């Protein structure tokens, strides 16, 4: 079974530019999550999709961030315009069902390392 994949693995952009990150979850996983780790700090939740619907986007920092999951398959996270504080590692995770009540877990991708100069 292929794992969660993310593209690109690294991205270096200048302040004010736009960057789009992509996540392909494990096939059959309805739940898709985005997290972010800013340098030296905790991994923070950004948002959660169930299929194509946003279930929880309480962690999105501001309206410069836009996440989509067209057709309930892969997801994209666009940052426009990027700011210096957006630098960090962006993780995507997926799960088949909800964590609670079952032996379910979130499977993580390798992350995209974003550097905004």
Question: Which residues lie near another protein (CB under 8 A)?
Answer: 3-4, 31, 33, 35, 40-45, 48, 55-56, 59, 91, 95, 98-100, 105-111
Structure tokens at 84: 């210096």
Min CB(4)–another protein separation in Å: 7
From first CA to last CA, the distance across the chain in angstroms is: 37
CB 39 to another protein: min, Å: 11
When the beta carbons of 13 and 89 are compared against another protein, the nearer one is 89
The least distance separating another protein from the CB of residue 105, rounded to whole angstroms, comes to 5
Residue placing its CB nearer to another protein in the complex, 30 or 68: 30
Residues contacting 62, CB < 8 A, separation 6+ = none
3-state secondary structure at position 72: helix
Of the candidates 4, 8, 13, which has an alpha carbon nearest to the alpha carbon of residue 81?
13
Nearer to another protein, 44 or 81 (CB): 44
- Measured from the CB atom, is 88 or 111 closer to another protein? 111
Residues 78 and 92 sit within 8 Å (Cβ to Cβ): no
């Amino acid at each position: 079974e292929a794992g969660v994949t993310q593209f690109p693995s690294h991205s270096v952009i200048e302040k004010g530019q736009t960057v789009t990150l992509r996540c392909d979850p494990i096939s059959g996983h309805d739940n898709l999550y985005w997290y972010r780790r800013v340098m030296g700090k905790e991994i923070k939740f950004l948002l959660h999709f169930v299929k194509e619907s946003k279930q929880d986007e309480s962690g999105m920092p501001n309206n410069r961030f836009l996440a989509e999951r067209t057709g309930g398959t892969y997801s994209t996270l666009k940052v426009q315009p990027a700011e210096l504080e957006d630098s960090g590692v962006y993780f995507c995770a997926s799960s088949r069902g909800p964590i609670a009540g079952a032996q379910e877990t979130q499977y993580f991708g390798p992350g995209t390392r974003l550097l905004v100069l």
